[in-house]
Amino acid sequence: EKRAALEVAREKAASEAAQLAREKEDAEIEYHKAMELLEDARERIESLKEELNEAEETELGATEEEERIRQLIDEKSRMLEEIFERIQRNRCAEEEAAALEVGNGNTWFAKADELWSGR
């Protein structure tokens, strides 16, 4: 009877040991899967950090480019304003010259008329 009880206890212990071994093996497999997922997640995080840094650098570059373009636009606007002012001054000078020519012409005609009429 003791032998039978001992044998039953041994079988039960062996069965539990086998069950624990399977559970340990399953746990190790799950642990390795979790570690792989963790490593994949770390790699993805690093990749996203690099993408973020590149995007920030690109944004900074774009901002710098926008500022450079604004400066060029401002410079070209000033140049156009100067050209417009020169054109205005030239027009005024042309109008003054035309007025002088007309005035001189009138004076010339008046003198010619005086001479012609004998004054």
- pLDDT per position as a tens digit, 80-119: 999 989 888 888 878 777 766 655 555 555 666 666 776 5
Q: What is the dihedral of CA 40, 46, 51, 56, to 10 degrees?
A: 150
Question: To the nearest 5 percent, what fractions of the chain are helix, strand and coil?
Answer: 95, 0, 5
Q: What's the predicted TM-score (pTM) here?
A: 0.47
Q: What does the pLDDT look like over 1-41, one tens digit per residue?
A: 889 999 999 999 999 999 999 999 999 999 999 999 999 99
